[in-house]
Structures are given as structure tokens and as C-alpha cells.
Amino acid sequence: MPDADENSADAVLEPADEAPAGGAADGASGNGRAAAAGGTDLLVREGDVAGDYLERLLDILDVDGDIDLDVEGDRASVAIVGGDLDDLVGSDGAVLEALQELTRLAVAQSTGVRSRLMLDVGGYRARRRADLTSMAAEAARRVAGGGQPERLAPMNPFERKVVHDVIAGVPGVRSESEGEEPNRRVVVLPER
């Protein structure tokens, strides 16, 4: 990225200057955090803060993209859609994971509450979810048929959750995670 103009304030990415809404930071974290911290209103606010943060980032990077905001279950969902966004995904989604973490930090700084928002860029997560679903179903079929455990490749938490959810819906098999990050993986096992 080229050096920013020394007179430009746009070069600094900071979360929107908003104070936490009505006690949102009072003891709200982890499970039940949305209910304890204002429910859907907080999730919508998380999405708004994330959207503003990402719009500024796209402007600085001179990348064209639109921001879509939604609430899915108990988390804010933010998607960057548009033209050539491959650089924002990176190899195996590594840049996307980093952007998601930075965005979560910006949201937490603004709201005072740890964010679990999910960021997608160019539909990468949806495509990856479909690939993982297929891979997990195939591994479950092999384990159910052969009885031997199968260790899958290391995955990030999002990917492991997708696999665990698929395996949970298949009779005769179960799944566990083993190892330490970044080499943590899912093991598909026959039901006990």
C-alpha cells in the first residue's frame, strides 16, 4: 500500500466515534450477550459500526465494493460484495480472517462489548461452507461404512463448526476437535 499523504486524516482507521449505547458494556459478554446487551438493537449497531469501518478501509485501499448488513441468529453479519475482491480474501481466507478480527476489534472498541460478527467477502464463506459440507458428509459416509476414525485437515474455528454441524446430523458418527491452533482439526469417529 502506498504511503498516505502526510496531511491526510483518512490514513488512520479508527472505529466510529460513538459512545456505548445505554449500558451495553455492563457485564455483557459470551453466551446471552445479545439479550443482556440490548438484543437485536446491539447487533444492528455492531453491523453499522462494522459497515462504517469497512467502508473507510475500502476507500483507503481504493477497492470497489458494497457493504451488506444483516443479523443472522445471535450475530451481526457483514458482507463485502462487488468486483475483484480476491485480495481481501487471501490464500485460504487468511486475509478475510484478519479483516474479520480487525473489524470485531473496531466494533468492540465502539460498543464496549466483544463482537462475534461474521464477515464475508465476495461470497467466499458461502462457497467454503458448501465445500466443507460436502467434504464432511463424505468423511462421515466413509467412517460409518468402515468404522475407522478420519482426521481432517487443520481448519479455522468457522470451518470446524461447519464440519461439526454436518457430522451432528449424520447417524452412526460423531466428531471431536483435536490439536492446537493453527493445526487444530476435526476427527470424525464412529458413534460409541
Same domain (yes/no): 129, 117: no
Please state the φ and ψ torsions of residue 190, each to the nearest 5 degrees. Answer: -65, 150
Confidence of residue 11 (pLDDT cuts 50, 70, 90): very low
Residue 48 counted as domain residue? yes
The whole-number pLDDT of residue 38 equals 59
What digits encode the pLDDT tens for the residues 95-127? 999 999 999 999 999 999 999 999 999 999 999
Check: CB of residue 78 under 8 Å from CB of residue 54. Answer: yes
Least confident range from 10-24, 42-56, 170-184: namely 10-24
**Domain stop point among 94, 122, 150:** 122
C-alpha to C-alpha distances, 156 to 132, 160, 172, 187, nearest whole angstrom = 12, 6, 25, 14
At 90 the three-state DSSP class reads coil
Domain contains 4? no
Task: Indicate if 83 and 72 belong to the same structural domain.
Answer: yes
pLDDT at 136 over 70: yes
Q: Where would I find the H helices in the chain?
A: 33-36, 40-61, 86-89, 94-111, 124-146, 157-168
* pLDDT attached to residue 83: 83
Same domain, 15 and 36: yes
Neighbours of 119 (CB within 10 A): 22
What is the number of structural domains in the chain? 2
Domain holding 154, by residue range, is 125-190
